[in-house]
Structure formats: structure tokens, C-alpha cells
Structure 1
Amino acid sequence: MTDRETVCSSGVRGTGVKSVSVLVGDSVTLNTDVPDTQICDVIQWRFDHQNSPVAEINRIAGIFNTSDGADGRFRHRLQLDYRTGSLTIRNIGNRHSGLYEAGIPSTGIKHTIHKSFNVTVSDAEKSEIVTEGETVTLQTNVSEIQKDDQILWIFGEIVIAEIYKAAQFYIYDDSGLYELKISSSRHVILRRITVTVTGE
């Protein structure tokens, strides 16, 4: 491997396995933590110790692609960030649960940094029907908010609630599609819940 092939941000660190819980139909982004200002020439994503990578960047060889997986489970679902190598899994399903690992060669060091994520996918109802005047609670399914988490509730294109170090709350009581975005240095999760308000 040439010196150029090992170019990567020295700020990327390998840590323990991160646990990510998502619901069927969610989109989740697994972050490599490579800054936008840095470029890694080689990044490989593997799923559950499969021999072939499910996503790969090799700028020297001109490779930038995602794979459907040996059984086609990832067909039309994977998106790779060209600069950072972060991997997004769209419309996730139960068979996408498992261990995802990014291999990133480290600058000036004869080893590869590994970023690992244990993704658990569970079923959940994605719609709520309430009578006008009733109260409805839309669950985030997050057990604990970390200090670097940002949580946004979005209705249409309007941010109606936000938690980021300090919390601000807004009330919006229309029928429609509510979107939840949970962002952190570890991952980004997008969820959708349809709320239908009926007459009394």
C-alpha cells in the first residue's frame, strides 16, 4: 500500500461496538467520523463478517460502489457518502439487523481502524389515529439522550420541537406526516409517523 493510499484523518479513532436501535422502515446513517475537510483513500464496509464488502471506496483504483449483498438484501438500500465514507441504509428491514464494520487505514500506522455498529431492527406501528381534542404522544424509542444528540421533530418543513443541550417545545396539532431526526457523532436516524385526526 502506498503512502497516498493510507492518507486519512488522524482524528478518526477506533472505538468499541456502538449499539443502534431502529424501527422497520427507518433510514439510518452509520458515521465514520471522518471530517468533511479530510479524505480517506480507502474505506470498506462489511456486514456480519461477510467476505465481500457491501460498500467500498478506493480512490486510487477508482472504486466507489455499494453491493446488493450475496442474497440481494441491500438492493436499492445503501448510500455511501463520497467524502466521509459514512453509510446510509434506507427503508431498513429485519434482515438488515447485524454487525456493520468500516475498515479505515490509518495515517502513518501499519494497521486499519475499525468502526463497528451493532444494528438492531424491530417492528413497530407507524401510524396514530386520534379523535380531535385528544392528546397523542409520538415515541422516539430512545432510552437515553446523549450529550451530543440532537433531536428534531418536523411537520412538513417546519421544525416543531428540538432538543440539543437545551430543550425547546412547540405544539402542533394537525393531521399529517411527522418526521423525527436523531443526529449524533455516531449515527443519524430518520423516522416517520403518520397522524390522523378524526372528528368527535
Structure 2
Amino acid sequence: MQNMLLFFLFILFMDGVSGADETESVMEGDSVTLHTNLTEIQNDDTILWMFGPEDSVVSQITRKAGLTSFFVTDKERFRGRLRVDQKTGSLTIRNTRFRHSGKYKLTVSREQTTIKIFNVTVFGVVGEMDEVKSVSVMEGDPVTLQTDAEIHSDDLIVWRFGDKGILLAKIDVETKEISLNDDDERFRDRLQLNQTGSLIIKKTKTENAGFYELQIRGRESSQRFLLFVTGE
């Protein structure tokens, strides 16, 4: 019984300690640094930087026997843009683009594992700043991406998700026909589109975080949203 209790406490310990989420905003083309708040990387430390709802590793720093090793991803999204501070492990994204917006997760494994979340928004040039809206929601809660456009009787409204522009929903205002994407497991039975063109995501998951674009065909009108979903 005592061994089982010790094992349970070990699992709780390994789950890590999470700090408050931080929000960073940067103009497209500028640099942004996400700070670990460490004064120095210590022996046996492991630092991981991850990006996006899938927590894809973009950088790893380990220190063993006084030697520090660094890994930085060469994936197209970040190629040549990431720099890691060799003393503190802080991550700098240089020459930012809109696609670098999203959730960054830092884990520092020392005596215990510390977890920190950064929500980064990259804005376009000054005249475009109003085109991107940041929206935050707790996992499990619903969220509405509200269109501010005046809807006309002959509009075709289309919602897309992610860098690849996956079609999520559309409504033909003239015929009142609504189509929803039930093929994508991330959104199955979670989408709703009202008559104003606003998109509702029910029971949000962290994998629903990312870019959403509202397009109004025929009027060259669009709105962009960046959704952050915070785990419970």
C-alpha cells in the first residue's frame, strides 16, 4: 500500500508545475523573445520548446557532464528564424511572419518539471492590425468567432482553418443553405454556423486552436481570427 502511494505521488510530481500563461504581440518582420526566466542552464537540465496544438518540438537543450547540446528544427515554418540563448535557453523568433502566431510551450526539467505557455500573436503592417482578432477560450467551453461585416442577401460566407485553408463551413445567405465539415475529426459535431455568418465551436479542444479565416465571396472581404484554447 505504501509503495502504491509513493508511486502515485511520483506521478503527481512528474506532471509538472504550470505557471500563468503569457501573451506576446509582435509586428510582422520584427523579432520576439520568449524568456525562460532562468539565470543559467544547469547540469542535467532538459529544456523543450514546442509549438502548436500538437506540441511539435522546435528546440531542445540538454546539459550533461558540463556539456550543452542544442537542437533547433529545420522545418519550413521556422527555417533560419529560431535562436536559442546558450546561457538561459530563451527562444527568439526572428523576422516573424503571421504563420508564427500560436501557442508555444516551454518545459524545463530540473528537480521537477516546470511548464509555461506563451500565446504569440504576429500582426501585419499597421494598416492591417485590425484584420486579426485574438480570441481565448477554456478547453471544453464554446466559443463564437463573430463576424463584424454587414451581411447582404446574396452573400456566400466561407470559413477556413489553418495554414492549408481547410474548409470548415459555408452558408449561402440567399438560399440559407449551410454546409459543415464533418470529415475532420478535430471538428466533428462541434461546428455551428448562424444566420449572421458567425462560427460557433462547441466543446472546444486544444487541437481547435489556430487560425480561422472568414471569407465573403464576391465582395473581397475577409476577417482573420487567432484562437487560443487553454487546457483545463
Q: Which has the larger radius of gyration?
A: 2
Greater relative contact order (CA < 8 Å, ≥ 6 in sequence):
1
TM-score (normalised: structure 2):
0.43
Question: Hey, which of these two has a bigger chunk of helix by percent?
Answer: 2
TM-score (normalised: structure 1):
0.49
